Amino acid sequence: RCRPFAEGFCVELRGRSHLSSGLVLRWFQGHLQRCLGAVRYRLQERCRVSLSACPGRPPTLHIVPCSDYVCCHISMAVRLIPAIPLGDALYLTALPPEGPRGPPAPEALWGLNASRQEQRLLSWLKEQAPASSCHLKCLQILKGLRDLRGQGLEEPFCSQWGRVLSSYVLKTALFSLLLRGPLEAWDERFLVERLEDLVLYLRDCLRKQVLMHFFLGNASLPEAVALPRFLKEAAPVNLLAAFDGPTLDLAAFQLINTWIQAPHLIRMYSSPRYLRPAPAP
């Protein structure tokens, strides 16, 4: 609920006043623009700084060093998201509104950032899984296939594809599958099998329209991942609840199609210099 000092950023929902993530995000973007205008001229000899804000995405700060000032011309893109600390390295993050074709996010809806808890889980998995475990490689490959398929899709589904199969959704599916065990099966020798398992598990989640948040109300977490009590007792949240059935069905179809055509997609969209030469017959 809103405190008196935050009344200008509140909305009424079911007769109660709640802090609006949308209002906070708009205020934050306005301050970013003013701050950028104040510092840009001081940095113009060293780098070019710009701010972009696409519908449905948080503002992104782009930094491009001047080639005649630094030896390495490496650009950076930094997402800037206002957050409220909850303690124990947990944060509420303001959710950007959806694009013009998507349903607007409720004003009082905030995201949960649990990066520290994810790191604890990854550390525990590193100890329990084989030294040559392929679970992180599976996630990287699936993200790459998602991005490659997205290059061949048309709007409006192209934007929906990226939101349905967001990095957090892919990561949640991987964590859920890993806890089903056995972890010995994730040895690198079984990379293709485990990647296929991940694709099929995610397809089933899309068809059933259910993929639960990994930390909110999850009673099956290992004890090594210490969670605050309010997270353990929170109501479970379905990450796919914001999408309609036809969109999820189409995403499931495209996901399987992407897996079947993976070699073709890699050849089509990857730069030739990154492809290994074909072995001699």
| Shared domain check, 226 and 154 | yes
* pLDDT for position 135: 95
**Other beta carbons less than 10 A from residue 198's beta carbon:** 22
**90 and 123, same domain (yes or no):** no
- For 110, list phi and psi in degrees, rounded to 5: -120, 155
Asked which of 92, 109, 126 is the last residue of a domain, the reply is: 109
pLDDT at 100: 41
Are residues 151 and 101 part of one domain?
no
Q: Which neighbouring-strand residues pair with 83? A: 93
Tell me the pLDDT tens digit for each residue of 92-105. Answer: 888 776 544 445 55
11 pLDDT higher than 60: yes
Are 152 and 78 members of one domain?
no
State the total domains in the chain. 2
* R_g of the chain computed on alpha carbons: 21
> Highest mean pLDDT: which of 172-176, 178-182, 220-224?
172-176
- Considering the domain architecture, whether residues 165 and 244 belong to the same structural domain is answered as yes
pLDDT at 273 over 50: no
Q: Are residues 103 and 119 in the same domain?
A: no
Between 276 and 268, where is the model more confident?
268
Tokens 């996630």 belong to residue = 139
- The answer to whether residues 242 and 263 touch, using CB atoms and an 8 Å cutoff, is no
CB 158 within 8 A of CB 150: yes
**Confidence tier at 69 by pLDDT (50, 70, 90):** low
Two tokens at 166? Answer: 């967001």
140 band by pLDDT with thresholds 50, 70 and 90 = very high
42 or 260, greater pLDDT? 260
Q: Which of 18-32, 54-68, 186-200 has the highest mean pLDDT?
A: 186-200
Among 36-50, 218-232, 255-269, name the one with the lowest average pLDDT. Answer: 36-50
Give the pair of three-digit tokens for residue 134. Answer: 């392929």
User: How many other β-carbons are positioned within 10 Å of the β-carbon of residue 133?
Assistant: 22
CATH number at residue 257: 1.10.1410.40
Cα–Cα dist 186/179, whole Å: 11
Q: CB count, 10 Å around CB of 93?
A: 16
pTM of the model: 0.78
Residue 274 lies in domain: 115-280
Residues 102 and 147 in one domain: no
Question: What is the structure's pLDDT at 68?
Answer: 60
Lowest mean pLDDT among 12-21, 67-76, 152-161: 67-76
Q: Which is more confidently placed, 265 or 206? A: 206
Question: Are both 145 and 88 inside the same structural domain?
Answer: no
Residue 268: pLDDT above 90? no
Evaluate if residue 167 carries a pLDDT over 80. yes
